Amino acid sequence: MAELLGGHSLAARIFEHIDNKTTDLGDACWSEPVKNYRSESRLEEELERGFRQRAIPFCPSVALPEPGSYVAREAGGTPLLAIRGRDGNARVFRNACRHRGAQVASGTGRQSAFACRYHGWTYGLDGSLKTVPHEHGFPQIIKEKCGLVPVNAAEQGGFVFVTQMPPEPVADLPDIPELLRDGLQLLTVNEQVINANWKVLAESFIEGYHIRSTHRDTFYPVQYDNLNVVEYFGRNSRVTYPFRNIEKLRNKVPTKAEMEGALTHVYHLFPNIMIATFPHRIVMVALEAVSVSKTRQTTYVMSDPQTLGQDPEREKQATDFVDAGNAEDREVVESIQRGLKSGANEFFEFGLFEGAIVHFHKNLQAILEGGE
């Protein structure tokens, strides 16, 4: 993995941009056909090659803090269920009862077993079939062969990874930095369906060219217009959004805590996971296509327990601030989705200020063409 900038070297790059009124530029522009946002067959290819055949973070490990903790959601169009077992291991199963296919869990929580609400078939934390009501009516069933169907899963760097098809993710995990440090606590999990293609939504996270126009009263007063540091590691990227208060760090070697308080990093873990860092908060966002025009966004908000409750009013203001900015992005991406139907554009033209988006589309295209 390429080394990402940190500390003094990152601050120096940011100050150079501030002083010269510049920003990181991409190596090339990209023209993305609008039809690729509207095609059902294209979306199915993206899900198959980009989502199901790759090791992708499913949820943060802190979402499964103890035996019986679970997370149920769709990934790549497949209902999945992650469970922390009594042995401490995280396992992931296809979320479908082996009787008639109803899902055995939804959302997040903690249970000692998982009972299908249709007929009551019940499964243990290891996925094994434990109970079949009126079992004598199913003489053909071999319970040992009718547990929940597992998918390949592994934990690394604070994430539970899943691969819905071989190879085993243990041998195929992406090389990413330690983004979710030990000791984090899960604060909230939120789901919302956004009326936009998943790629339109992903693009909104990874460029700062829109800050002034879209976030005039939220992010722009505390950040900069079109000033970012953009870095790549494998198919992934990191976009750094400095705050204006970084000026107080001039002419000094900043500590890690000082840097964390002076910027936001947005990591794009290819293809559909965003990790955003804020002072005292880390957010994981999973973008899952519901259709070509709808995306389910699942947001996990985490924090260091030592910082919780120190200043509740300030924490509320920070949460409201981020929520307001997200609402502005949602309004724009849903507008883009409506604009897809206008017929005005054959292509979306991504420029040098949008290098992380170009990187995303190049890698997605390579995947669809059979690249590793």
pTM of the complete model: 0.94
Banded pLDDT at 165 (limits 50, 70, 90): confident
| Res. 140: pLDDT tops 70 | yes
Measured distance CA(225)–CA(22) in Å, rounded: 10
Domain regions of the chain by residue span: 7-52+178-368, 56-171
| Res. 168: pLDDT tops 80 | no
Banded pLDDT at 372 (limits 50, 70, 90): low
Non-local CB neighbours of 177 within 8 Å, separated by 6+ positions: 1, 4, 157, 233, 267
Q: Supply the DSSP symbol for 51.
A: I
Please give the residue that has the higher pLDDT: either 372 or 200: 200
pLDDT in tens, 264-277: 999 999 999 999 99
Measured distance CA(70)–CA(87) in Å, rounded: 14
| Res. 36: pLDDT tops 80 | yes
pLDDT in tens, 294-331: 999 999 999 987 766 666 777 777 788 888 989 999 99
Q: CATH 3.90.380.10: does it fit domain 7-52+178-368?
A: yes
Report the pLDDT value the prediction gives residue 40, as an integer from 0 to 100.
97
Return mean pLDDT, the chain.
Answer: 93
What sign does the dihedral 9-14-18-24 (CA atoms) show? positive
Report the pLDDT value the prediction gives residue 309, as an integer from 0 to 100.
60
Please give the residue that has the higher pLDDT: either 270 or 176: 270
* Cβ contact 155:176 at 8 Å: no
Q: What is the mean pLDDT of residues 124-139?
A: 97
Banded pLDDT at 371 (limits 50, 70, 90): low
| Res. 1: pLDDT tops 60 | no
Report the pLDDT value the prediction gives residue 73, as an integer from 0 to 100.
97
Banded pLDDT at 173 (limits 50, 70, 90): confident
* Cβ contact 24:229 at 8 Å: yes
Report the pLDDT value the prediction gives residue 310, as an integer from 0 to 100.
65
Map residue 283 onto helix, strand or coil. strand
pLDDT in tens, 82-121: 999 999 999 999 999 999 999 999 999 999 999 999 999 9
Report the pLDDT value the prediction gives residue 280, as an integer from 0 to 100.
81
Report the pLDDT value the prediction gives residue 35, as an integer from 0 to 100.
98
| C-alpha distance across the termini of the chain, in Å | 16
Question: How many percent of the chain have pLDDT more than 70?
Answer: 96
Banded pLDDT at 176 (limits 50, 70, 90): confident
pLDDT in tens, 247-261: 999 988 988 889 989
Report the pLDDT value the prediction gives residue 370, as an integer from 0 to 100.
85
* Cβ contact 269:176 at 8 Å: yes
Q: Could you tell me the fold of the domain covering 56-171? A: Rieske Iron-sulfur Protein (2.102.10)
Burial (0-12, 13-18, 19+ Cβ within 10 Å), 89: middle
